[in-house]
Structure 1
Amino acid sequence: MEDELFETIQKWKREDESRETEECLSGLLHENKMKLLSALMMPLIKFGTGGIRGIVGPGYARVNVQNVQRLAQAFCSTIEEDTGVVFIGYDHREHSKVFAETISKTVVEYSKRHGKDITPEPFPQTVPKQIVSFACKNSQAICNKKCVGGFMVTGAYKPRDYNGVKIYNGTGCQIRAEQEQQVRKRMKELVPTNETVFLWELGDTRIEPSQSLDATLELYQEELSRVFREMPKHKVDAVYTPYHGVCQRYVDMATDCLGLKRVTRVPSQWREDPLFPTIAFNNVEEIEMKNLEDAKRTADKENIPVVFATGPNGDKFRVAEKNSKGWHVFSGDEAAVIALHYLMEKRSSKRQGSAVVMPSRT
């Protein structure tokens, strides 16, 4: 077992020649921390549910520049089109921007090596994951080019030492099972042998940020306005917290379109911060109220009866309401039932007979 581990470490060092990694691995070897070394190196990080996610650090089992490039190379090898764009977004976590730059460089290198015109469209600032999906789906309207895929670098709701990459197909959906299997197989094939390293030399080429974000957000706001146009304007005050995440600008767009009377910010949680200093656990779906304490205090101070929160990358939502018994935090199922009731009433009033499908995950 130790012989296999030592061999794997040597293979890794051929891909990752950084001084930080050398010092880290040498220190662990010197301290005989074989269990931790094994956790870093074995097995190769799992690809599933459309991407990779894990603790950031050196080794095949962790999220790092090498494994992000391995994923990007593997995905590029499944692209059948000769021309198109790949949208790339990232959240505010440590290393997210570097990982996004690695993906952009990999797409450029892939095009060079295969004589294709596949260009990266890396967004110039942090975005929620929905913006990448939306851009993929609407690429013709945004940049007059076909989208062949998208990447979102995000640790989602995981603790602060995690990060990951989510992949989308050209329609903005999670890649299908057959393509996922191809990517998984190709990632394994890109693990080096004793003689050969398969990751490309990417060099220091600077990738210019995409100019398409403004067009994406303009179209996104138009879509929000269309969706909310027939909804009644609400005169409800609310308190909002982004959990130190990246959704502030985008929630402002939505609440403006919805016509909420006043949305009060939670000052202590408004700034993007990858350390999440004021919350115990950044999964917004957690049913307990403790992660909403700052928002609740703000609401009590301003005499506001509604609090809502978004997950750090915008993929989750939580709402709470103050009633005569105190604060009630709505579960995902409760929020889904309320939304379903609204949709059914709306369709009933218009005598629309088509079915309403409302998936819910607890």
Structure 2
Amino acid sequence: MEPINASELLIQVQEWIEYDPDPETRIELQNLLEQNDLDALHDRFSGRLTFGTAGIRGVQGGGPNRMNQLTLRRVAICIAKYLGKDTSVVIGYDARKNSQTYAADMANVLSHYGVHSQIFTEVVPTPLVSFAVRQQSANLGIMITASHNPATDNGCKVFLSDGAQLRSPVDTEIDERIEMSQLPPREISTGAGKVQEIETKVWDKYCSTIANTVRGVSGSLTIAYTPLHGVSWKTVERIFELVGVTDVVTVQSQLHPDPDFPSTPFPNPEETGSLDLLFEVARNSKADIAVANDPDGDRLAIGVPTTNGEWRILTGDEVGALLCNRILESTTGQNRKVVSSVVSSSLIGKIAKEAEVEHSQTLTGFKWIISEAYRDPTKKTVFSYEEALGYAVCDSVRDKDGISAALLFIEMAEDLARKNLTVLDQINNLSLKHGLHLSRSQALRISEQGSLSQIDFAARLLDRKPPESLGGLHILEFCDYDQAASTAGLLLPQSNMVRLILETGIRILIRPSGTEPVVKVYLEKIVKVEEGQDIDHERSLTNFTFDSIEEGLQKYLKEILTG
């Protein structure tokens, strides 16, 4: 969006206030006008929220660059115009502030334009909406959630009729409609579209379907669990009951939905400290596994005890490798396929190759992953994942599902225990067979406010001379990832990433966040290990090297991107 001058800004603010149906955000903007706070107003009107890798989300407040009722009305109208009359949409919502209000209002807007809505009557996890779209033969699904974002945020995820996330070219078409649309009136009447409540049998069907994805669960392990103040516990509890997992200890202070997330301001399982209460409960109860879902239930974090009595959170790549190996060991068929993102560990490809199973890679984001997973109907995709704690382990949910993934992980851990093996033993076994794959993803903050332009991000870095070394290691390769991918035979959309290869073979991928002033960095190192070797020592050495590399990268990127 082009910069706007003060007079144009004030006109836009007044117009927004006129059409905004929410008195709270109207008052917010009116107060900013009276205070003549042009900086705050410009921040709210200098752009608008758009669809990203996982829907549209942002801080709640007034204006097009905030999440609010009017922003979502524009989304609903353009979805309705895209779908046409007498189509149907499934709508779910989480427990965040305004989620239920947004869901009901979007259903009313869709009704006005002749689109039927099937809406859940209580909070649900995101995977249930993906499941319900196909179960109810709907044309589209909407989930009101900001996933693992802070309490200030909200948003919506959109699913197409196949249960997979909104993707190209449909996302572009809807977004272009939003860009060209006028603000809708404050009062929108109900129309020919019917608004119906979704019966509890859909939730029951999801629970029974997920429960039936495992066969060997005995309930022999003690599980520590937290939904991080989110909406998953009711569903998880029911599925555990169905399969016989009864020895479950929970983080009571985080068990029930709370839009304020009082004990974890950043309810992202990847955030340092977010699982401290879970590990405390796990230690006190002598649990075998610690399980966490993010607030909307589509991601899974796992913690396991170490030999010294401490607890260690597994990386997304470690969980991905374990689940992939489990599924390939327990399934058969020449047409099996696994899919992972290009920033995820290369270990998955080696596990798939050993099992003679096709492995495909995509850009990060499940809208790309699921699209590739079901691109060829002659293939049977049995597992998909990305390193950011997202796993798809069954065909019934065509999106990442932290609940079904948790159940499969528990089944695997029980099977290992019967063989007198721990989860960490199994990770080491995979390392002995395929090499120790050490990976880390990190968001490096470049400035304290604003966002980084994604335009020509890779070119801006490549135009400058790279540092001579990172972490004391010389840089052997510094290139556009798209070029490297093309050379390797990977046909992918533009990634806007840069790839570095350091001596000792450390691979680094760098991309901008776009919504925050951070750069996402993905590191991987592969170490050959042998029986009897101290693998934990190798991990410690590599993590120390990763720390040093990140420090050097942050300094370099700040100079390039803010200098």
CA contact (8 A) 1:239 1:264 kept: yes
1:282 aligns with 2:267: yes
Instruction: Please state whether the residue corresponding to 1:7 is helix, strand or coil.
Output: helix
- Correspondence 1:283-298 to 2 at 5 A: 283-286=268-271, 288=272, 290-298=273-281
Secondary structure of 1:245's counterpart equals: coil
Letter in 1 for 2:210: L
Query: Which residue of the partner structure matches residue 248 of structure 1?
Result: 233
Instruction: Tell me the amino acid that sits aligned with residue 94 of structure 1.
Output: K
Q: 2 CA distance for matches of 1:302 and 1:51?
A: 38
Partner AA of 2:267 in structure 1: N
- Contact 1:87–1:135, Cα closer than 8 Å, also in 2: yes
Unaligned runs of 5+ in 2: 341-384, 388-563
Distance in 1 separating the partners of 2:164 and 2:186: 28
Q: Secondary structure of the residue that 1:151 maps to in structure 2?
A: strand
> How many Å separate the matches in 1 of 2:22 and 2:315?
46
Q: 1:193-212 alignment to 2 at 5 Å? A: 198-199=184-185, 201-203=187-189, 210-212=196-198
State the SS of the aligned residue for 1:147: coil
SS at structure 1 position matched to 2:170: helix
Question: Higher strand proportion, which one?
Answer: 2
Partner of 1:115: none
Task: Using the TM superposition, give the Cα deviation of residue 51 of structure 1 relative to its aligned residue in structure 2, in angstroms.
Answer: 3.0
Q: Which residue of 1 aligns with 2:113?
A: 110
8 A Cα contact 2:121 2:198, kept in partner: no
Evaluate the alpha carbon distance shift between residue 86 and residue 354 of structure 1 in structure 2; reply closer, same or farther with a 3 A threshold.
Answer: same
Pick aligned residue for 1:39 from 21, 38, 43: 43
Match of 1:163 among 129, 154, 159: 154
- Over 3 Å counting, the alpha-carbon distance change for 1:44 and 1:281 in structure 2 is closer
Q: Which has the larger radius of gyration?
A: 2
Per-residue CA deviations over 1:32-62 (Å, capped at 9, x if unaligned) read 3211110112212223336321110111111
Identical residues among aligned pairs (%) = 26
- Equivalent positions of 1:93-108 (< 5 A) are 93-108=96-111
Q: In structure 2, what is the equivalent of residue 302 of structure 1? A: 285
What are the ranges of 5 or more consecutive residues in structure 1 without an aligned counterpart?
Answer: 112-117, 140-145, 193-197
Decide which of 269, 281, 301 is 1:318's aligned counterpart: 301
Structure 1 residue 261 displacement after superposition: 4.4
Secondary structure of the 1:324 match is coil
- Contact 2:158–2:165 (CA<8 Å) still a contact in 1? yes
2:124 is aligned, of 122, 127, 139, to: 127
Please report how far the alpha carbon of residue 211 of structure 1 lies from its aligned counterpart in structure 2 after TM superposition. Answer: 4.0
1:238 match: 223
Pick closer, same or farther for the CA change 1:253–1:95 going to 2, 3 Å: same
Tell which deviates more after alignment, 87-96 or 291-300.
291-300
1:92 aligns with 2:95: yes
Q: Specify whether residues 15 and 154 from structure 1 end up closer, same or farther in structure 2 by C-alpha distance, changes over 3 A only.
A: same
RMSD between aligned alpha carbons?
2.2
* 1:357 paired residue among 338, 352, 362: 338
Contact 1:74 1:186 in 2 (8 A): yes
Q: TM-score, normalised by structure 1?
A: 0.86
Residues 1:50 and 1:300: Cα distance change in structure 2 (over 3 Å): closer
Cα shift at 1:215: 1.6
Q: Cα distance, 1:210 vs. partner?
A: 4.0
Offset of 1:13 from its aligned partner?
A: 2.0
Stretch moving more, 17-26 or 125-134: 17-26
The aligned runs of 1:47-196 (5 Å cut-off) are 47-49=51-53, 51-80=55-84, 82-111=85-114, 118-139=115-136, 146-192=137-183
CA distance 1:31–1:14, shift in 2 (3 Å): closer
Contact 2:151 2:261 in 1 (8 A): yes
Q: Note closer, same or farther for the CA distance 1:100–1:296 as it changes in structure 2 (3 Å cut).
A: same
**Aligned residue type for 1:212:** I
Pair 1:333-2:337 in alignment: no
**Secondary structure, in 3 states, of the residue corresponding to 2:92?**
strand
Deviation at 1:234, TM superposition (A): 4.4
Partner Cα distance (1:199, 1:181) in 2: 24
Q: Secondary structure at the match of 1:227?
A: coil
Distance change (3 Å), C-alpha of 1:295 and 1:98: same
Q: Which has the higher contact order (CA 8 A, sep 6+)?
A: 1
Letter paired with 2:122: Q
Match of 1:14 among 18, 25, 33: 18
Deviation at 1:328, TM superposition (A): 1.2
Change over 3 Å in CA distance of 1:332–1:17 after alignment to 2:
closer
Distance 2:55 2:339 in 1: 25
Instruction: Say if 1:44 and 1:234 are closer, same or farther in 2 by CA, change over 3 A.
Output: same
Q: Summarize the Cα distance change of 1:208–1:125 in structure 2 as closer, same or farther, 3 Å threshold.
A: farther
Instruction: Count residues in correspondence.
Output: 337
In the alignment, the residues of structure 1 paired with residue 207 and residue 261 of structure 2 have an alpha-carbon distance, to the nearest angstrom, of 28
Amino acid at match of 2:296: N
Alpha-carbon distance, 1:311 to partner: 0.4
Kindly provide the CA deviation profile for residues 40-95 of structure 1, in whole angstroms up to 9, marking residues without a partner as x: 12212223336321110111111111111100000111114x53421110000000
Listed one character per residue, the Cα deviations across residues 323-346 of structure 1 (whole Å, up to 9, x for unaligned) are 212111101000011111111222
Q: What secondary structure, in the 3-state scheme, does the structure 1 residue paired with 2:82 have?
A: coil
**Distance change >3 Å, CA 39–CA 225, structure 1 → 2:** same
Q: Distance in 2 between matches of 1:180 and 1:17?
A: 26
Task: Kindly indicate whether the alpha-carbon contact (under 8 Å) linking 1:336 and 1:358 is maintained by their aligned counterparts in 2.
Answer: no
Amino acid at match of 1:284: P
**Corresponding residue for residue 449 of structure 2:** none
Q: Distance in 2 between matches of 1:93 and 1:284?
A: 17
Pair 280,57 (structure 1): closer, same or farther in 2 beyond 3 Å: closer
Structure 1's 22 and 300: CA in aligned 2 closer, same or farther, altered over 3 A?
closer
The 2-side partners of 1:17 and 1:71 are apart by 15
- Seen in structure 2, the aligned counterparts of structure 1 residues 50 and 190 have a Cα distance that, compared at 3 Å, is farther
Partner of 2:348: none
- CA 1:17–1:79 in 2, change beyond 3 Å: closer, same or farther? closer
Query: SS at 1:44's partner residue?
Result: coil
